[in-house]
Structure 1
Amino acid sequence: MPTFPPDRFDEAPADLHRVGAHRAPKRRGRGWIAFAWAALATGLIVAISVVGMFIINDNVSFENPFGGASTPIPTETPIPTIEPTVDPAANVVVLNGTLTDGLANSVGDLLVSRGWTVATRGNASASDVATTTVYYSDPSQEGAAKGIIQSLGVGSIALSDAFVVPDQVRLVVVVGADYPLPQ
């Protein structure tokens, strides 16, 4: 094997602690720089996340979970009930929905005796109506419809356009099989 004469690269200083020809010695404090970059990146990610949550939620409130002001419990608002009324100005139509002859007249007479104005009495197109029903087309007439049911003592009310006549506001009573016949 050939031998070469020694040169300046053959003698390395003892304090370098090199493990190869091209590695430089580690600088002091190099670990703190990596830690600082990692901490900066973590802080930046947290800040972006917080801003993103503000944007997504549109509001953030920090409340004390261990007491203090509490959120009020919502209460149900009562639905106003409409009381039955007698409206002598209401235009009432009585229709017989059963096979009993003269039932529309007797129901009309009963309503007139209780303060109602009965404009028309007649037979319904169906003769097999099971339930007495008062039809009204304007929500403001609900109290009057309930008043007719109270006057008759039987039946139900229905908001419907089934018996609407243009330019007329009226209550239509269709007497059904549940109406008690006079003895």
Structure 2
Amino acid sequence: MTKYPRDEFDQVPETSDRHGVHRARMATPKSNGLGLIILAAVPALAVGALSFFVLPLLGTGSPSSPVAGATSSPAATASASPSATEQTTESAEPEASAEPTEEASDEPTEEASDEPTEEAAAVNKQDPVMILNGAGVSGLAGTVSQTVQADGWTIAVVDNWGGSPLSGSVIFYNPGQEANAQALGELLGITDLQETSNVSQYVTVALGPGYQ
């Protein structure tokens, strides 16, 4: 038996005229290793092309980290701004405490300046004044009328008191004449001021007993 497999040369017809045909030894082709190098290089090139062109399109990799860092910085800035606002508000509050002191110092000045102006505007020395003598001293009404007239007032009547006896000096005035009555009372030293429309249409100075 031979070690070679059967082939066409083993099928020889008995009537054939062919003789002396032998099988040549099969030569094994020699490999120089170039094929193995090509086979190994092709997958490596394919993997490199895939990582270079495909992975950037998928958005994977390190470029995402700078974006995260960029988004965190505005958040830190935004979180820092309220604290700065609170510090500014807190630092401004103590300054506002000085306002009540200024208002308190201004109010007395305004009141003191306004009151004399209103009183002076209400006094009208052109309104006539009646002076009546009820003290029983002759010529007293004339003397007082000169004092009133010298202060700029207009004298309407100088006469004697005709009503019930007086216990003291009184100034009678009608509604709306209170400022004139107060001014005359300060001038003549009379503190008893009475509002009434039954005496006269003018501010009336009734000089009672003991008036000097």
Q: TM-score of the superposition, structure 2-length normalised? A: 0.41
| Structure 1 or 2: more helix by fraction | 2
Kindly name which structure, 1 or 2, has the bigger radius of gyration based on alpha carbons.
Answer: 2
Instruction: State the structure with bigger RCO (CA 8 A, min sep 6), 1 or 2.
Output: 1
